Amino acid sequence: MFRLLVAVTLIACSLAAVVPDATETEEFKQWSGRIVGGNTATPGQFPYQASMRSAANSHFCGASIINHRWVVCAAHCTVNRLLANTFVVVGAHHRVTGGTTHATERIVNHPNYSSITLANDVSLVRSATDFVESSTVRFIQLEPNFISTAFPATASGWGQTSNPGSAAEHLQYLIVEAITNEECRSRLSLTNAARIGETTLCVSSPNGQGLCMGDSGGPLTVNGRLVGAVSWGVPCGTAAPDMFARISAVHAWLVSIIDV
């Protein structure tokens, strides 16, 4: 079976499952996670990748650049955040240096986002200044069509690479495979299976590879289009599926907000 390159980290079912790096800030620890069994990206390999940062330059989630002002993120990353403490860094390869930092002027969480089920776990963040395309900054198109199974997908992020361990210094990616929601439910507990709905896209990867609490909001792409935003998963790298917000399910809402 052909598998996909993905670099993502998800918010897991239990934050206690992650052993945080004592050198990181409290804000990073809250959302921090890891890419298990991932690979280091080359500079500019994922030019649509953005880093969501605090005013203290602490990376707390990933995001995807979709046009000159907007990025797609996860609602669980941005709900209750203040604009003054939310910045978008684009064109970066290193987690805390490089790239261009933009202040934000608007955060829009999906109106039907559920913090219980993580349905509609998607948000939009508008930069106060334009993103300028270059060799390391590119916009990515939204995928309006339903992706079901066996599609190669690519994601990227700065999560930890081992547990316990430190957050990745450089952008990482990993190989996964999209699976049907039916298969996804069959591989989860009854409680977690009940959280898999039409706004969820599941992926699978081999034991020892996978996503975990961090770089939530980061991209999952197929054929150069954005199909998912990192949402949640079962800790971690244990061959359990990882879950994304399905872009096609919220496509109409996204388009209604952004100024294309």
Is residue 21 scored above 50 in pLDDT? no
The pLDDT > 70 percentage for the chain reads: 77
Give the mean model confidence (pLDDT) for residues 227-240: 82
State the fold for domain 49-139+251-257: Thrombin, subunit H (2.40.10)
Query: Could you tell me the residue ranges of all domains in the chain?
Result: 4-42+140-250, 49-139+251-257
Is residue 194 scored above 60 in pLDDT? yes
Nearest CA to 81 out of 56, 99, 100, 54 is that of: 54
Least confident segment among 95-109, 185-199, 205-219, 224-238: 205-219
Is residue 71 scored above 70 in pLDDT? yes
Write down the pTM of the prediction: 0.85
Is residue 26 scored above 70 in pLDDT? no
Give the mean model confidence (pLDDT) for residues 177-199: 95
Average pLDDT, the chain: 83
Give the pLDDT of residue 38: 76
Is residue 65 scored above 50 in pLDDT? yes
Give the pLDDT of residue 156: 86
Q: Name the pLDDT band for 2 (thresholds 50, 70, 90).
A: very low
The pLDDT > 90 percentage for the chain reads: 63
Range ranked top by mean pLDDT from 17-21, 86-90, 147-151, 234-238: 86-90
Give the pLDDT of residue 47: 97
Taking CB atoms within 8 Å and a gap of at least 24, the contacts of 224-228 are: 224/140, 224/141, 225/140, 225/141, 225/142, 225/143, 226/48, 226/64, 226/66, 226/72, 226/140, 226/141, 226/142, 226/143, 227/143, 227/147, 227/151, 227/153, 227/178, 227/201, 228/153, 228/155, 228/201, 228/203
> In terms of pLDDT, which residue wins out, 52 or 32?
52
Give the mean model confidence (pLDDT) for residues 110-139: 97
> In terms of pLDDT, which residue wins out, 149 or 66?
66
**Residue 3, strand partner residues:** none
HEC profile of 70-89: EEEECHHHHCCCCHHHCEEE
Give the pLDDT of residue 239: 74
> In terms of pLDDT, which residue wins out, 160 or 186?
186
Range ranked top by mean pLDDT from 134-138, 217-221, 222-226: 134-138
Give the mean model confidence (pLDDT) for residues 103-127: 97
State the fold for domain 4-42+140-250: Thrombin, subunit H (2.40.10)
Give the pLDDT of residue 12: 35
**Residue 225, strand partner residues:** 141, 222
Same CATH topology for 4-42+140-250 and 49-139+251-257: the answer is yes
Q: Which residues are catalytic?
A: 76, 121, 216
